[in-house]
Amino acid sequence: MKIATRQYARKQKRWIVSRFLKRRGGNVPPVYAVDGSDKSRWKEEVFVPACEILKHYIEGTESPYQPLPTEESNYEPAYNKCDICNVVTLTVREWQVHIKGRRHRKSVARHKREQLKAEMNDSSKTLK
């Protein structure tokens, strides 16, 4: 049972990071990290900071705790078109994923091979 709990906690953490920290926009709330690893100090390390953060949020004042930084740079708009794969991407991150992808790399290799074959055919025709 403990293994399943740890796996579920890891899955939750990945979901929180991808949903709240790697997204951009006004719909994403600030995320604060608290250390709940020590059960004996849970009240001081988790409950009290969470209550203070909520209190400041409700009052609309500045919280003494800093939210986790979001990763906005990869999601900035950037129009790119890959002529080899005939793919259009709209963000920097999508473009990076496409360039590093297997499909793109294989297409580039195939394109180079076809160009070399065409050059060799042209050069062999000129020799005749």
Which domains can be identified in the chain, with CATH numbers?
Answer: 2-59 (no CATH), 73-127 (3.30.160)
pLDDT tens-digit profile of 16-43? 888 888 776 667 788 888 888 888 999 9
The predicted pLDDT at position 35 comes to 87
Torsion sign across C-alpha atoms 49, 52, 58, 59? negative
Q: Give percent above pLDDT 90 in the chain.
A: 47
Give 109-112 contacts, CB < 8 A, sequence gap 24+: 111/84
CB 84 within 8 A of CB 111: yes
The predicted pLDDT at position 124 comes to 75
Residue 74 has pLDDT above 90, yes or no: no
The predicted pLDDT at position 127 comes to 64
Residue 103 has pLDDT above 90, yes or no: yes
What's the whole-number mean pLDDT along residues 69-83?
Answer: 78
- Kindly report the number of other CB atoms within 10 A of residue 108's CB atom: 14
What's the whole-number mean pLDDT along residues 47-68?
Answer: 91
